[in-house]
């Protein structure tokens, strides 16, 4: 199983990190070892002083596909979810400056939080999903998939030009503005269309 992540997919988040607006989706991969085991706390790793949360809508691929046409992309997933793309921002900034790959800042153990899955048939329009992240009970990120620069089906068509998608692969579709730092003893929870899909403690 692989995790394909999209960066810079929400205009306001691009501005807050002072990044350039991309002409194509920014894509990176997390290894399967990055998945935080269910019900486990997240331990801040020693190599970073600045771990950021990034709440993102997730899509789980349900069959093999390559060069998927956008028109048929919706047949490649049945479930949507919510998760966190934990990012060692200090390390990522350093790597970016040096023109090096981001993997160490994005693919470390526990860096992918994957919440409960919901059938996509629960929703009338996947391009209008409200979601939010709560830090110690306070809303810190709020987004709607309508604000994505590239929608779910466009992303599937795009990434499948490069990577064969396999059953069980997960796509992290990018984060809206409001990313921020986590601290020991924080409690994070994620809500999609009024349903809490994950919660975790930071150690």
* Site residues, Zn ion (CB under 5 A): 54, 85, 175
Nearest-CB residue for Zn ion: 85
Query: For Zn ion, which is the closer residue by CB, 48 or 175?
Result: 175
Rounded to a whole number of angstroms, the minimum distance from the CB of residue 84 to Zn ion is 9
Q: Which is nearer to Zn ion, 4 or 165 (CB)?
A: 4
Min dist CB 5 to Zn ion, Å, is 6
Closer residue to Zn ion (CB): 85 or 153: 85
Supply angle C-alpha 43, 26, 198, rounded to 5. 35
Yes or no: say if 26 and 47 are a contact pair by the CB < 8 Å rule: no
Q: What residues have CB less than 8 Å from 55, skipping those under 6 apart?
A: 82, 83, 84, 131, 132, 133, 141, 143, 175, 176, 190
- When the beta carbons of 85 and 169 are compared against Zn ion, the nearer one is 85
Closest CA to 201 of 187, 181, 180, 182: 187
Question: Nearest distance from residue 69's CB to Zn ion, in Å?
Answer: 26
Whole-number minimum distance, CB 13 to Zn ion, in Å? Answer: 9
CA dihedral 81, 54, 192, 142 (to 10 degrees): -160
C-alpha 115/C-alpha 137 separation (Å) is 18
């Amino acid at each position: 199983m692989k995790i394909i992540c999209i960066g810079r997919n929400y205009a306001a988040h691009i501005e807050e990190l002072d990044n350039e607006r991309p002409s194509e989706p920014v894509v990176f991969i997390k290894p399967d070892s990055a998945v935080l085991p269910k019900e486990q706390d997240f331990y801040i790793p020693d190599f970073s002083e600045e771990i950021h949360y990034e709440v993102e809508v997730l899509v789980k691929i349900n069959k093999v596909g390559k060069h998927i046409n956008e028109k048929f992309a919706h047949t490649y997933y049945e479930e949507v979810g919510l998760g966190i793309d934990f990012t060692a921002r200090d390390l990522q900034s350093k790597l970016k400056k040096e023109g090096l790959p981001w993997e160490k800042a994005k693919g470390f153990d526990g860096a992918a939080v994957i919440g409960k899955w919901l059938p996509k048939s629960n929703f009338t329009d996947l391009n209008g999903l409200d979601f939010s992240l709560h830090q110690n009970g306070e809303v810190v990120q709020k987004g709607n998939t309508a604000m994505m620069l590239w929608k779910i089906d466009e992303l599937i068509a795009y990434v499948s030009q490069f990577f064969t998608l396999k059953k069980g692969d997960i796509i992290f579709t990018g984060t809206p503005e409001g990313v921020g730092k986590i601290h020991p003893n924080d409690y994070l929870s994620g809500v999609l269309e009024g349903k809490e899909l994950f919660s975790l403690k930071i150690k």
